[in-house]
Structure 1
Amino acid sequence: MSSSSSRKGDAFTIDRDVSDFVKTYKANGKELCFMPWAQSLRLAGRPSMKLVEFDGPGGTKLPFREIFGGAAVAVEIAGQRVYLPVQNASFAAMAAGEVDARNLSDTQARCRAKAIAMVTGVGLSIYADFKGDGAAFAKAVGAGITHETDLGLIPPLVSGKKRGKSESSDTTDFLGWPAAIAAANLADPAFGWSIEEWDVLDTATGEVTAQPYMRYGTGWAVGVTVTYRGHEHTEILPIMGMAEVDTANGKKKMDNQPLVNPDVNDWNKAVMRCLAKAIAVETGYGLSIYAKMDFVEEDGSEQEPAAARGTVTPITQKASSVTAAQPAASGAVQSREEAIREIEELLKSTGADRAGMLAWIEVSSLDDATDTALVQVVKVLRGKAARGEKAA
């Protein structure tokens, strides 16, 4: 496993208002925002950059890198490399053999803008869905971050992903890479990151080549190394997405499942997620979000934190005819004491994260949880137990 050093030297700023330069267009039923690469380059003071070339067959040079059968271009600013997959008009990954000169040129232009945003901060608010409002983005990331700030004490900017297709669907909180990048750069002018590479065997040809991913069980994983305040940390993350899995109710399509046959888009998403997680682990920024994510089931079921909405209190003092010997999994009405006892047992048997559970229901102790919260926790842990998730 190896990583290359990466560095930039220009001042990093995210509070600049670039909304006047933002363009919009509609694709796949959504309105998307971007800033033309030339405008990004001008506003950033024209930092030195280069389009990366990759080794091809017979010692030739290619303007893209083949990843999982697709193509990705890369731009470097002062040693910091940023990738972007080549996509078609519907944002689907294009096969490496199908890309043409126009596809490559357009992707390189978008990659320039992304690299400028990630390295200098100019336009980063666009990627965070603030449409160029730098002041609002900076405030959301964390006001007053300096080179001495402990990022673990800064309330992070939380992004959300809907767990269903309807407008009323609940969302899963996560730390977006724009906020993570912004916080790390503001706290450390020397912050940098790189994608890990490993020797990978092509079982079809027998050839071993260095790739920005590795075998991970039956699936694949990516790795990102961050350098923060002189210390390096490497994080590994599986490449995940929608996949059909076996459940107690038959086969079901679920998100956040390890992918056996990912494409270059899946790879890119995993890299950006891994970058955000590595920043959280090393700096502390957004770590509270991961504490919740690790506990909440991501199977699309209707679950919510206990602070939520809890207008019902289904846990009651049990009737004297209900004995404590009844199996917890039977779904019998429980007292608070029985619910807490069952939770403790399930935490041990499933290996679920206690800190994540408490963060999810927003309390420091189960004794402080609402009745609604205890019901939700029991439901989640029973689901884990039913799926056979055991402590390692």
Structure 2
Amino acid sequence: MMCLSGRSVQCKQRPRKVLRGLYSCVLRLGSGFGIGTLETDPYCQWRRGWIGKLHSGEVLDRQCWAFSAVISPLKLQGKSLTMELDWIRYLAKILPRYPRLVVGIGDDAAVLDWGAGNYGVVAVDVVSDGADFCLREIDPALAGRKALAVNLSDLAAMAAQPVAAVVALGLPRQDARSLAERVYEGLLALAEDYQVAIAGGDTHVWDGPLFLAVTVLGLPGPGGIWRRDGAKPNDVILVTGSLGGSILGKHLHFRPRVREALYLAQNYEVHAAIDISDGLLLDLARVAEASGLAAEISLQAIPVDPAAERLSREKGTNRSPLEHALSDGEDYELILAVPPQEAQRMLKDPAVGVSLTAIGRFVEGEGLWHVEGNFRARLEPAGYVHGHSHQPFGK
């Protein structure tokens, strides 16, 4: 997925990182909001959770703290255009299109025509210390695992079969070799599980933090490629797994839904799909917009993860479990647009290998809507956005 990270983590004992954090915050705020301090600017506050070690008032006493553009989506609102969306739209306008590029910017992965009826699927993502994890708080092997896993999730959203990956690794100078070995332990373990060959890459030692840029290469699965823009009116909206509270561990340990996607693509008709990396509402809005439709969902039907309830109850987030499920992000589950008759069959199929929940449907129109019986109210996209937080409940 082509995006800039919506998360930032700062390490108290390395003051130079604070400047990077402020720059990251400015990128997210965009124009018209000004710059506040890390402690006071509401758009730069932390989610109040990092691997379960956060209580209100403790943040600045930790060696590592985090801040992000995510605030309670029920309380804040902002402009709907984000830096990331603006940038993608800009690139879509200026980049030339070539015959070999079948699917380009704007989806979870690119699809290339190699000729003679052969196609390739390519995705790239970057994770780094200070943006996607805090190295002082985790085993470096988990950083390596996450770097590959987020890319495999993008292939799952396309129903593609992973084949190989290349890894660009940026290492801080101190203990570079031992750190590299630990990072690769986690990466290689997941690669073996999904039969992904590490085909090469690049290694760079520098004065900055650890980062990994992983590019995965795949093939269309036997059921063909999924895209974001294929949803049709009356399609049922299905989600895999449960949502919210990923900061308590799932964002490092999640299982990319590759096997589940390949099974569903081969056995069912799926019109569109996306993985939930930035939050249910935000990613659902991307499918709706790409497909030229509106999405209606029942908030009562949202599968809330127990971690979201724990985060709300124990960590002082001032957000309900439902709010966490709607907008926390980094769930790495799938949103599917499925014809009604197919959805009924899917929901009864134990071979899918993961729970499926019907949360709504796509309809003619635009935007996101909360529908319960005769009640209908607009929702605004909320989640990890690069500019502003949004309020899901509108007028």
TM over 0.5: no
TM-score (norm: length of structure 1): 0.22
Higher gyration radius (CA) = 1
Which structure exhibits the higher relative contact order, with contacts defined as CA atoms closer than 8 Å and separated by 6 or more residues? 2
